[in-house]
Structure 1
Amino acid sequence: MGRKGARDGAGDDVEAVLDELYALPPSDFVPRREERAAAARTAGRADDARRIHAARRPTLAAWAANLLRRSRPEEAQQFLELGRALREAYATLDPSGLKELSAQRRRIVAELSRQAARLARDAGHPLSDAVQRDVEETLRAVLADPEAADRWAEGRLESGLTPPAEFPGVSASGTSPSTATATRTARRGPAPATAPSPAPVRKKDELAERRRQRQEQARAAAEAAEAAAERLRDRRRERTEAEASVERARERRDEAERRVAEIEQQLGAAREELERADREQRDAEKRGRTAADALTRAEREAKEAAREAKRLASR
């Protein structure tokens, strides 16, 4: 993201500019990149301008994966840590453990890819099924490949990532190296008996201890995977509840707007009625004043006529 106060491009940290660019939807990327590069050139920062201009617009899947990384930083960090634990665990688990861990891995990737799709839809860029599958491929690569994990952690993917054909530490047959070695040994049969010596015994004890530690790490990774899946389910449930709350609030707002419109309509009609009553009152008052004036004149004329009649009668 662009840093606070970095508005004109001059003096901006180039890393902040790149963060800002890769947070934008692909449709906004190129115009903003050219604007930032031009600002850097104007500010005399030719090297920064070249680096900014060299940034490639991300695909929609890459942008959605970047959006997930930036919008869910805590969950993304847990996902990266889970990938490290899984890569260690896959080297020591037996086939049954690998099957369980693989199922958890698929579940977590599916949950996160759905989160990415929701974030993209909320940002006005819904993902097609094909693009969402590319996001899932990217997330699988992040779990399996440490280099892919480092690239995603930067939040600047330009295109989707491809996971390796096999998870690290797993052979084509689906077994870990330690399991495969034990299987080959069992097929060959036990080695000829030899008198034990202290050094091999110590080495055997050390190997057993390391294997025990790896198995503990594998169990911890499995537990972490399940906990991460539970957290994802919780976040999804919270999101659903929040969306329901938003919908209820929107309905209440629409109802309030409807009531306000009705009241405003009634108020408008009442104002028109009041204005009519005011006009009628003014007209009536005017007619009343005119009638009063006419009455006064008539009374005056009647008095004058009476005086005249009296005067004539007295002659």
Structure 2
Amino acid sequence: MDFDEAADALYAAPSADFISRRNELAKQLKADGDQLGSTRLKALRKPTVAAWLANLLARESPDDIDDLLALGDEFRQATADLDGEKLRELTPRRHKLLDQLSKSAAELAEREGQKVSADVAQKLRETLDAGLVDPAAGEAVREARLSSALRHVGFGVVDESGEPSTVTPLTDERRQRAQERRRAKSDVPAEPEEDAETAAARAKREKAEREQEDREAAEKAEAKKELDDALAAAEAAEAVVADLDTQLSDARDALIEAQEAVHRVGEELDEARKAARAAQKESREARKRYNRL
């Protein structure tokens, strides 16, 4: 089991078991030799009820979440194109999908024996809407490891405390899969047959686009690898610092114990010397009494 598998298992656990499950999985990673993964897992926070519900929905209905992210792509494209007609078409779809997902989440919560208050339901809807509006928030929702509900406030995404949320970037591969799934579900009329010249031009254009996409994907993969390597190096350094800090604390405790032992032995030595002097004095007195006899 690696860190990602452990994190998925942790956030899939019932909310009430989060702490005990985290300790258990961290201990397992450490036993497997993954000290860094164990340290990272211990740092993961217990999700709020709204975040737990969003995570549950993402695990149980991944296709619906992909549809949500794909709809967000359509919104951003229409906004970039200043396409008011398209935006008016997308808005009711946005509300309908959010209603559908909220209903599904409520049913899942009931199945798990979790009551959903009006406040939790509102925070869940805000989280889903943030996932639609913001690509990084959408990926965070899709990963099902939220510890706090999210909310889009116009300039970015914040968590339940109002602090800026740290979310991971949306991958092109997942966005593409969601778009393809949505196109497959929609009833798109068949396009008219192309003539040979048009088909050849289209094939050439598509080939150029694929080559460009491959180049961009390779560049992004290289950049992602560099980022992952840098993060791993930073985390490893943090783990070393934590280990050295623990060693220093243990050494200080040992020094304090040694100092206390020195003090205790010193007191015992003083007492022993006093007893020895008293015994010597008593011995001299006894000898004098013996000589007078």
TM-score (norm 2): 0.50
The residue type paired with residue 59 of structure 2 is R
Give me the whole-angstrom Cα distance separating, in 2, the residues matched to 1:27 and 1:103.
Answer: 37
Q: Is the CA contact (8 Å cut-off) linking 2:15 and 2:52 kept in structure 1? A: yes
Match of 1:80 among 69, 79, 83: 69
The residue type paired with residue 147 of structure 2 is E
- Relative to structure 1, the CA distance from residue 166 to residue 135 in structure 2 (aligned partners, 3 Å threshold; closer, same or farther) is same
Match of 2:13 among 21, 24, 27: 24
Alignment of 1:1-315 (within 5 A): 12-95=1-84, 97-165=86-154
Give me the whole-angstrom Cα distance separating, in 2, the residues matched to 1:44 and 1:126.
Answer: 40
Give me the whole-angstrom Cα distance separating, in 1, the residues matched to 2:66 and 2:147.
Answer: 20
Give me the whole-angstrom Cα distance separating, in 2, the residues matched to 1:76 and 1:98.
Answer: 20
Q: Is the CA contact (8 Å cut-off) linking 1:61 and 1:160 kept in structure 2? A: yes
Deviation at 1:98, TM superposition (A): 3.0
Give me the whole-angstrom Cα distance separating, in 1, the residues matched to 2:40 and 2:62.
Answer: 26
Q: Is the CA contact (8 Å cut-off) linking 1:66 and 1:156 kept in structure 2? A: yes
Runs (4+) of structure 1 moved beyond 4 Å?
A: 93-97
For CA contacts below 8 A with separation 6 or more, give which structure has more relative contact order.
Answer: 1
The residue type paired with residue 29 of structure 2 is A
- May I ask how many residue pairs the two structures share in their alignment? 161
1:118-165 Cα distance to aligned partner (Å, 9 max, x none): 111111112111101101001110111011012112111111111243
Q: Is the CA contact (8 Å cut-off) linking 1:144 and 1:164 kept in structure 2? A: no
The residue type paired with residue 15 of structure 1 is D
1:285-308 Cα distance to aligned partner (Å, 9 max, x none): xxxxxxxxxxxxxxxxxxxxxxxx
Gaps of 5+ in 2: 157-178, 187-293
Give me the whole-angstrom Cα distance separating, in 2, the residues matched to 1:117 and 1:93.
Answer: 36
Q: Is the CA contact (8 Å cut-off) linking 1:145 and 1:164 kept in structure 2? A: no
- Relative to structure 1, the CA distance from residue 69 to residue 114 in structure 2 (aligned partners, 3 Å threshold; closer, same or farther) is same
The residue type paired with residue 79 of structure 2 is Y
Gaps of 5+ in 1: 1-11, 168-220, 229-315
SS at match of 2:47: coil
Give me the whole-angstrom Cα distance separating, in 1, the residues matched to 2:52 and 2:5.
Answer: 17
CA RMSD of aligned residues (A): 2.4
Q: Is the CA contact (8 Å cut-off) linking 2:26 and 2:37 kept in structure 1? A: yes
- Identity across matched positions, percent: 38
